[in-house]
Homo-oligomer: A and B are copies of this chain.
Amino acid sequence: MSDLLDRLRDRGWRLTSQRRVVAEVLDGDHVHLTADEVHARAAERLPEISRATVYNTLGELVTLGEILEVATDGRAKRYDPNAHRPHQHLVCFACGTIRDVHPTGDPLAALPAAERFGFTITAAEVTYRGLCADCVRRSG
């Protein structure tokens, strides 16, 4: 993840210990943490870090395109460090687990011009929903 820190420094990001631990917490490609989870993990290394700083830093990383904001339910947003490879999400109804998935084709192509109502469309997000194997087993 030092390449993330390098990229940020190259863009003139002032590197503080708080920003460093937030970036480190988001290291790895298969986590989808809430802001509070990021805060809790960051606080293990830097106990005095504040919630506001975590929110600010996450917001900046989203603006810079280094992480994605994912709102799969009405609850807390989740932050996805896998921003450089296009993907969609698969969410378990029961336990809320999120997996990155890679459908074939471009979902945008499925929307005919007549269904675009003059919009300039730039993104198509797909959320697949179901029960994960563990929750199927558990529920019978």
Contacts and interface: CB of A to CB of B under 8 A. Distances in A.
Interface stretch (A14-22, A45-53, A131-139): A131-139
A120 B131 CA distance: 5
B122 A102 contact: no
A127 interface: yes
Interface in A61-93: 69, 71-74, 77, 90, 92-93
Interface residues of A, number: 40
Nearest to A71: B74
Interface stretch (A3-11, A36-44, A110-118): A110-118
Contact of A120 (B72, B112, B122, B130): B130
Most central of A77, A102, A103 by chain B CB within 10 Å: A103
A29 interface: no
